[in-house]
Amino acid sequence: MSVRHYVLLATDGFINLPVSKTICPAQETKQQIYAFGFVGGLFKVDEKIVNPILDWTNRKNWGKLLELKGTGTIPSPLIVGEVEDRIYITLINLGMKERPDLIDDHTIHMHGAHVPSQLDGFPETSFGVPVWTDLTATPPAMTYFFLAENPGTLMYHCHVEASEHIQMGMYGALIIYPSKKSLSLAGIRQSVNKEWFYNGKPQAHIPKTATNKNFAYNDIQTYFDKEYVMLLSDIDSVWHESVHKGSFFNAANFKPDFWLINGRAFPDTLLPHPLSNTNIEFDSNLTRINYESYVHIKTGQQFLLRMINMGYQVVPWHIHGWHFTIIGKDSHIDPFIHLATLLQLDDSSHHALKNKGFTVSIGSGETYDLLLTSNDKRIEYLKYMILGQDGFPSFCSQLKKLNTIDANSIFNIPTEPVKCGSPELINYLKICQQSLTDINDQFFPQFFPMHNHDDYKITNKGIYPGGQLTYIQTDTPDYYVDEKFD
Ligand SMILES: [Cu+2]
């Protein structure tokens, strides 16, 4: 159990959204969108100070805190904890740099947290935090508290004039992990030499390096190797412009023209996230989770997608490559997953009991935890790809032929991490020719898209491709399949 103290400061700022399909476009070709957001982040874990600047009670920090005015972005900082943690969020209202006349209060609503109404952040039934105007005095600050009862994927947002403040970007992800203790109560334990056991049985697929933060819920089936937050939202640039200018906008005329994943639209969703590596690496108590949206895994790995919809439209989220299992919704484990665990079903009888799919409709305010195993496709497909079968020439020889007719028809794909300036590009022709001695190398990496299946929402101001689209890069696994085919 830890006491985790976050300090968030409400202010405004700008985000830059792509309007061309070029990866890494010049900044001036982007559209600047006026936004609101929370800045700051983790201040303290127990007695250990993570970011001393966030001590708002120390007059010496006030200058630094005021410098944060106008630096708001989308999304707001990640808030993370584990079961039984006591999480405190102190809110300070810096006011708006672009609109100093806007003196709205702000709040923190921990969406999905079981808090008493006083701490719920709905201003009409509690309170709002006013702007810090007297700069000679300690800023007005209120501290929200919640006890992390259940693991899961939640969110937080401002609830003052929610129609506008949410649209303007005042939201972030809130993630609760199981604790070692809560896992142990579910029969999941790590031995002194770091091996994992479930009800006394060794779990060879879970590496020694795994921690309680490699489980989504208190259930052995919710183990994952990697995890990603996919915080979905939508932007009506006309509304944002109205707020910037101070003119009236009728919320009923909402008509988005940008659709975002973690505050960015494709192709920016493939780039390293600007919010990564801030306040994250200081302390082993902190999680590795971040807002990266280019999923990068090895074949065979299990990965978790924490889907959060903060937008105003339903998102039919579709994943190419494999079918996902819904292991949780709104911070509760999927009952089928848990039932199969309780019944100790084997894999084959268990399959029919899994809540699986390839598209899930995520309404506003909903979260889904999707678990995927990047199953190896070589057993069924490697022979056709490299050698050909059933009288058909191999995929690679067909592609080679296509290249002689129209080389531009073979797409160059940026590999992760994408370095702007010198992105490494690969295409399937190159992959086919990677190594003539080992056919396994002629199959990987693979790239699977995942996207909003309202496909007009994978555009930026009408330009395709854009919007809520990103990739999954899947690398060669650590093992090889037998190259000998009959
Ligand atoms: Cu607000």
Instruction: Name the amino acid, one letter, at 398.
Output: Q
CA of 363 to the centre of ligand 1 (A): 22
**C-alpha atoms less than 13 angstroms from C-alpha of 472 in its C-beta half-sphere:** 25
DSSP string, 399-413: HHHHHHH-GGGSPPE
pLDDT band for 281, please (50, 70, 90 cuts): very low
The pLDDT of residue 264: 97
Q: Which amino acid is at 48?
A: K
pLDDT reading at 289 higher than 90: no
Mean pLDDT of all residues belonging to the chain: 93
Rg of the Cα trace of the chain? 24
pLDDT digits (tens, 9 = 90+) for 353-396: 889 999 999 999 999 999 999 999 999 999 999 999 999 999 99
**Å from CA of 174 to ligand 1 middle:** 17
CA of 128 to the centre of ligand 1 (A): 9
Is the model's pLDDT at 230 over the cut of 90?
A: yes
What is the average per-residue pLDDT within 120-148?
Answer: 97
How sure is the predictor about 130, in pLDDT bands with cuts at 50, 70 and 90?
very high
Q: What is the pLDDT of residue 438?
A: 77
CA of 317 to the centre of ligand 1 (A): 28
What's the CA-to-centroid distance between 331 and ligand 1, angstroms?
24
Q: What is the pLDDT of residue 285?
A: 41
Lowest pLDDT segment from 210-214, 324-328, 346-350, 469-473: 346-350
Share above pLDDT 90 across residues of the chain, in percent, rounded to a whole number: 86
Rounded to 10°, the helix 395-405/378-386 angle is 50
The residues spanned by each domain of the chain are 378-475
CA 463 to ligand 1 center in whole angstroms? 31
Closest CA to 301 of 369, 381, 434, 210: 210
Of 419, 125, 377, residue with least CA distance to 272:
419
pLDDT band at 25 (very low <50, low <70, confident <90, very high): confident
